[in-house]
Chain A
Amino acid sequence: DVKVTQSSRYLVKRTGEKVFLECVQDMDHENMFWYRQDPGLGLRLIYFSYDVKMKEKGDIPEGYSVSREKKERFSLILESASTNQTSMYLCASSGGRWSISRYTFGSGTRLTVV
């Protein structure tokens, strides 16, 4: 069964820490995405990538960066975690940029910044 795996289900970090959220997919998908999910706001796109070493800003990139050194791995980086980054983070992948292939989501990482 195809999978998108997020390294942690729950994470607690301190304010100011550098935080890495890892996402790995085994479907050879070109596209990978990071979303943030908050109650009443739905899912909002942080960053996405259409290919290795490529990245594009989504709707709320401030305070985040990403890395995609290998096709299967897409990392979200919180350079200096703040309490307003406490949220659920969802990774997703899909096929070619112009294809309508199905999105596959990870199970999410619930991050708490204290």
Chain B
Amino acid sequence: AQTVTQSQPEMSVQEAETVTLSCTYDTSESDYYLFWYKQPPSRQMILVIRQEAYKQQNATENRFSVNFQKAAKSFSLKISDSQLGDAAMYFCAYRSYNQGGKLIFGQGTELSVKP
């Protein structure tokens, strides 16, 4: 069975600085997807970024980028130029390529942004 681990329950960053959230996963599959979701206090889960395992190039979305290390099974999220609105719970998630649409989530990292 696949597992996802986020070892940082809480992180803090100064506004305008850069922060990296860590995620590791375990799987025996070679094809899969990885995601980072953001959950602000409104509770609405928002997709931040997605990575297909077959792609070597790291995904980027504006200020958000990932460092995907397939051999190490590591998938970290870097947030550049942090803004107050980035404060939220962040979840890393795994989805198998051939097991339908189930998402497997990590424990979450709560990010606070200091003005």
A interface residues (Cβ-Cβ under 8 A, vs B): 31, 33, 35, 40-45, 48, 50, 58, 88, 90, 92, 94-95, 97-100, 102-103, 105, 107-108
Contact = CB atoms under 8 A, between A and B. Distances in A.
Given A33-B101, A33-B102, A42 B91 contact: yes
Contact of A45 (B42, B44, B98, B102): B102
B107 interface: yes
Interface SS, B side: loop
Interface string B11-54: 00000000000000000000001000000001111010000000
A98 B43 contact: no
25 contacts: A33-B101, A33-B102, A35-B105, A40-B9, A40-B107, A42-B105, A42-B106, A42-B107, A42-B108, A43-B91, A43-B105, A44-B105, A45-B102, A45-B103, A48-B100, A50-B101, A90-B43, A92-B45, A97-B100, A98-B100, A100-B33, A100-B95, A103-B45, A103-B101, A107-B42
Contacts of A92: 45, 103
B106 to A, nearest CB: 5
A99 B28 CA distance: 21
Contacts, number: 55
